[in-house]
Structures are given as structure tokens and as C-alpha cells.
Amino acid sequence: MTSPGSDIRTDVGLYRVYENGVLVDEPETLESHWRKDLVTFLLGCSFSFEHALLANGIDLPYYGSERNVPMFITDIETVGSGRFSGPMVVSHRWVPADKVVRAVQATSRFPGTHGAPIHIGDPAAIGIPDITKPDYGEVWEQGSSDEVPMFWACGVTPQSVAMSSKPELMITHSPGHMFVTDLKDEDLAVI
């Protein structure tokens, strides 16, 4: 990876520990939960393309604040693998209608960190009954009537899958607490 000297057990800041699909702990370190037989997977995060959105004139009111983006469990099923399957979780951002195409272009440059949006428009079309009640993160109100809801795949999806698949043990990051590498956002872009 790209962070020599890092330690996945301590460098995320806040974790979630699931046993049989049930959240049992949210520790700041994993030292008391770590076992030698555990395997780590790192997934990209949409936070990596937010600078590109800002550079393209798309305001993100939460950017730089202590608050998180809203995230929703959808009715979009992931492609299962063995017993692992479940619904996709998406992050949400309001984008002015005249900048939607620009948001798609800017984020599609980052396929390793969720890339282009998976849905634009009516939240109900992907199983979100109330845009003011996120499953994770915090609600951000629509700034003006010309803003369109846009949704991107989210790294919280594995937590959703864990709850559905109920593995004996699964450890994830807590929403909004990511492993940070020394890569620059532009290093993750494809064009």
C-alpha cells in the first residue's frame, strides 16, 4: 500500500465490530479484537473525489465541517458471493441541476473511489423513502429548489452486507472514519 509504518489496528480512529451480524463494539483501536487470522480489505471512499466537485464549482456545505454526508440503505442488491449479499449503501449530495453533468464527469475520473453516481433524481426509485432520514451520517437540507439529489456507491455497504450475511466476526470502519493514505486525490484519478 502507500502508507509505510501505518497500522490498520490503530490508524482508522473509530471501528465497528460485528459478531454474527450484530454490532457489539465501536472501539477507537482494534488491539483487543485483533487476531492473526484476520484479513484486511481497503475500499475507496467518495471523500476522495470531493475536491474535484469543489474545483468544478459544486458546493458541499459539510466539506471541512465536523459533520458527515448522509448515507442510505437502498433496495439495490449487491452481487452476492457465497453467503455474502445484501443491499447497497449510497452517499448523497445535493447538486444544482445545471452542474449535474459536471458532477458526473468529475467523479467518473475516480472509479477506485466509487466513480460516477449510481443514481440521479428521485430517491424513492432506489428504495429511499425519506431523504431527511439517513441511515448513517447526517441530513443535509436541500439548499435551493433547483438542486438535484445525486447518489454514489458507499464503503459502508460491507456493513450492510455483514448485517445480512451474519459472519462470525467482521470489523469495519465507523462511517466517516477512514484509513488515510499518502496518495493525493489526483493520484487516484484515471484521466
For the stretch 166-183, pLDDT in tens is: 889 989 888 778 787 776
In a domain, 41, yes or no: yes
Mean pLDDT of 92-117: 88
Residue 176 in any domain: the answer is yes
Mean pLDDT for the stretch of residues 23-30: 96
> What torsion do the CA atoms of 9, 190, 99, 134 make, to the nearest 10 degrees?
-20
Question: Is 141 a domain residue?
Answer: yes
Residue 8 located in a structural domain: no
Is 1 inside any structural domain?
no
36 vs 17: CA distance, rounded Å: 16
Whether the CB-CB separation of 91 and 71 falls below 8 Å is answered with yes
In a domain, residue 190? The reply is: no
CATH classification of the domain holding 100 = 3.30.2040.10
Q: What is the pLDDT of residues 114-170, one digit of tens each?
A: 789 999 999 999 999 999 999 998 998 888 899 999 999 998 887 788 777 888 998
Range of the domain at 143: 15-181
Using the 8-state DSSP alphabet, how is residue 98 labeled?
Answer: G
Q: Is 159 part of a structural domain of the chain?
A: yes
Q: Is residue 10 part of a domain?
A: no
What's the total number of domains in the chain? 1
Which residues are paired to 132 by β-bridges? none
